[in-house]
Structure 1
Amino acid sequence: MTGVLTVLTDARPGPSSDFGVWPPRDAVAELVEDVYERFSALGLAYGPVFQGLRGVWRRGDETFAEVAIPTEQEAATGGFGVHPALLDAALHAVIFSPVFGDGRVRLPFAWTGMSLWASGARELRVRMVPVDSHTVALELADPAGQLVAGVESLTLREVSGDLVQADGGLADGLFQIDWTKLPARQGPAPAPVGTALPGPEEPVPADVLVRVERPTGDEAEATHTATARVLALVREWLGVERFAGARLVVVTEGAVAPEGVGADPVLSAVWGVVRAARAEAPGRLVLLDVEGGEESWSVVGAALASGEPELAVRGGVVYVPRLGRVSGAGALTAPGGESVWRL
């Protein structure tokens, strides 16, 4: 994803349509009471906060809409240029536009020339016009008729039918991390585990194992302390030239849960910091989570010899993370009369 953000220097322009006259002159009202049922039938299920479309009118190729944020969300509008639910509701008018005329599912893909002139709106008046067969332009105004935002072009891209089901669920577009057993293999004994990097006079093995313990204190305080420590450790490691030919193995216990729930959020944050650093220094950092006990430590050398950047050892079994599809098996059943959970 790429984008360019600049500061507007021009004064707020006048709208191309008279938003002060509402509903628009010579426009024909459309039925909106069933619009979210129509979206759901297409595989797009919107929760109550995002069901903000209040009225729609058509005039030739122009589509006008009135949208509002739910009352319980009004207090949050001041934190946004345009509240996400309000902006999303403005885009729902596309179902009445010629761009959406064939009933195929199209979602926002590329924004060009989006300008913001005011913030904190709770209601918007929308004008949407086609630019071509898959692109629209938008103007968003407040109830007084003053422009709030504008979009020169919004390109919509059709969603593959394989990704959408009539009940609003995803067929095979969701993925998760699965922990997969690594085949057993022989390997050298690992270097001793320390709590700091080797000193200037100490030899540097191929893998330098440094344990990161969970600090005391509440979760927030412990997380700040642990991540600060590991960040300092990684910076030192990457900044010393004599470490350049070795790997730093950050050792934890309980940061991940390859056999189910129970990962420690404090040490999980440590893994997050190291993952981010590894993106900038590939091949220099390894994450190793080991359940205490001789059985597990006996396979650490072989685990590290595999070259995997992330490993977990439980009961002498080595696990590595792999991307896998989310299956519907074991999923929670939605409440009666609903096709999806609405949180």
Structure 2
Amino acid sequence: PPVAGPAGLAEVGLTATGHPLLGAGLELPGTDAVAFTGSVSLGTHPWLADHAIMGSALLPGTAFLDLALAAGEHVGCPRVDDLALQAPLALPAHGSVRLQVRVEGAEPDGRRQVGVYSRPEDDEDAWTQHAIGVLAPETGPSPEALTEWPPPGAEPVSVDGLYDDLAATGFAYGPLFRGLRAAWVRDGAVYADIALPDETAGVAGYGLHPALLDAALHALGCAHLVEDWKDGQLPFAWTGARIHAVGARALRVRLRAENGGIALIAADAGGQPVAEIESIRLRPVADARTVRASAGVGLSRVEWVPVVPADDRADDDVTLVPVAGRGTDGDLVAEVRAGVAAALARLQEQLADERPGRLMFVTRGAVAALQHEEPDPVAAAVWGLVRSAQSE
């Protein structure tokens, strides 16, 4: 008789995480590294449609932080020492995206490297790394409580029209992300009340719901802590992040500019610590093309077009300079240095001539023309030098 298939994650060797974006974890053999996997889409996580930037639904940067915190909690490293976002994750209108958070083995001090990756559900080879960082086991003391609220001497500031202004710059926040309720300023710091809508479901499982933390950053628009806020800002780097309580639906938040970033303390309705982040760095979003291109959204593709030599160019106007690639047995570092030095000398010699003419450096294998190719390091270094010379 046929045998029934596996009934759950444990039967296929996986460990359930309980996180809404990361369904399971898998220990990797031969090391204490762990990979956490999940799937995300606008169908399974419709609240993400409320985070539309320049016309694209993007996974918020706060969600990447929550993924790293969740993975760190499972491996005994609950603090995110550093997390830098490398590429945004645009969610397709249809279909899902596979997520993977990989936590490397522990170093002697207990710290672990972490990376966040994704790929479309229908393309097993198209993995993109979205974030890289370091997890740490130490937690340190809890931040100060925010029991006096609003703080004595804090001046209220208006939050009316903030989300309309953000929408005009391409930040179309839906109801779930419009969590800023009130704000005050005192001594260069911004204090704010943040809350999720009353009807919000699905908060359980997140250390701190990404929409709640994202809305806390909107309070920066009420003061002048961030330059060019009117142009739209997104978080891209986090330092010293730690969750002290889970399941919050409302926050008291203090934001203050420190060491080139924004320091955040979040507390519950009674003022007790919920989260702290030593530094958040933001950067402006230039336009829709930047967002869509970096997120892999669009119809662009690489196409190789044959070059037809111009008939009116005399042969003696162009000097061909062959570039030797890497040898078979030599010292790679020495070969790269020699190749770049020779190209630099040839460039300087040509530019010093009163009638320089044209140089054409002929490389082979300097770039990966086809998938899975690896560039020749010597030719690639010369390629980069000559392109720099062209720019200058």
TM category (shorter chain) comes to: 0.3 to 0.5
| TM-score normalised by the chain length of structure 2 | 0.41
TM-score by length of 1: 0.46
